[in-house]
Amino acid sequence: MSLLSQCTSGGCGAKFGADELAGLLKNLPLLRDPRLLVGFETADDAAVYALSEETAVVSTVDFFPPMVEDPGLFGRIAAANALSDIYAMGGRPLLALSLVCFPENYEDQAALAGILAGGAAKIMEAGAILAGGHSIYDHEPKYGLAVTGLIDPRRLWRNQAGKAGDALILTKPLGVGLVLSAARAGLASAEEFSAAVSTMERLNKYAAEKAAGFEIHAVTDITGFGLLVHAAEMAGEDKTLVLDFESLPLLPGALGFAAEYLATAAGQRNRRHISARVDLGKLSADAGEVLFDPQTSGGLLISLPMNQAAGLCAEIRKDDPAAAIVGQVEAGCGRAVVVV
């Protein structure tokens, strides 16, 4: 029995929509603490709590059902995805706790061992410690991590601190959701599928380490809400992100799969949520679908001074050749994101 056959969600880690989350969080009772430097109010990628002027804790959690059949690969992807939020804040992961849901009567317990081993390997690659976790029985497998890291609060990367005139760098190609959807339908080639899983299991550690040597204004990672929703969060209320579609790195086959109507339900939720705040200009429906497409363990979107962008992009591309300068930040024009 395969991992994916156990998933009623079809192997796609669907999230609550951004609007749903805002409504759920709006009236929560909260303890206020000035040492909480980053909470959930600005949709940043992780929480940050100051311990001193020089040291803060950065904390995040993420998990989802399998999107690939191979247990070890699934574990590596899920771990890379969870670790990404620490890198997106400019932090260093310190320790991780595994979160596991698994069917009680699942026939192949070796699959669970493979998932855990894959995750542990990726945690080790990140230089972090696997320190424990929690498991429950569930009708479908799920796996992820709660990750704690350290960060210098004076060098904290936020998602809405970009400045007009900044350039934007995207470090990984788009189209993961479309390629995985095509693979489940038997339409993706081995090369197309391999390209997608390679980028998903790639840690954002390496791009973040290179970025640390530059004047970074804002960073977010592109995950389940797709490029446009995350870009709109980065724009905030007073800026507009202008994206050049021709400059965006795409996975092999992604645009063609969009033309074949292989978009995911999560992509459609992203479209409904953000369409009123974006201007897609004359972009075709197929091209637009790639921008709404949910990414699993996607790349970093980095905002930095225009005169430093080429240098950083060249450094990142030494190990992440798909990285590209994809647009710029401008003063707000009434839309959060404009695609040209």
Q: Choose, from 7, 12, 313, 333, the residue flagged as catalytic.
A: 12
Residue 183 has which token pair?
């693979």
How many angstroms from the chain centroid is the CA of residue 153? 22
- The residue behind tokens 């930095």 is 304
Summary count for the chain: helices (H), strands (E): 11, 13
Select from 241, 46, 226 the least CA-distant residue to 150. Answer: 46
- Token look-up 């959690």 returns 61
How are strands ordered across the β-sheet holding 92-102? 36-38, 47-50, 56-64, 142-151, 92-102, 129-137
Pairing of strands 337-339, 278-279: parallel
Contact 247, 320 (CB under 8 A): no
Continuous segment of H or E residues that includes residue 144: strand 142-151
Query: E-assigned strands of 51-128?
Result: 56-64, 92-102
With a CB cutoff of 8 Å and minimum separation 6, the contacts of 109 are none
Helix (H, G, I), strand (E, B) or coil at 179: helix
Residue 59 identity (one-letter amino acid): S
Main-chain dihedrals φ then ψ at residue 61, nearest 5 degrees: -150, 140
Catalytic, 7? Answer no
Active centre residues (catalytic): 12
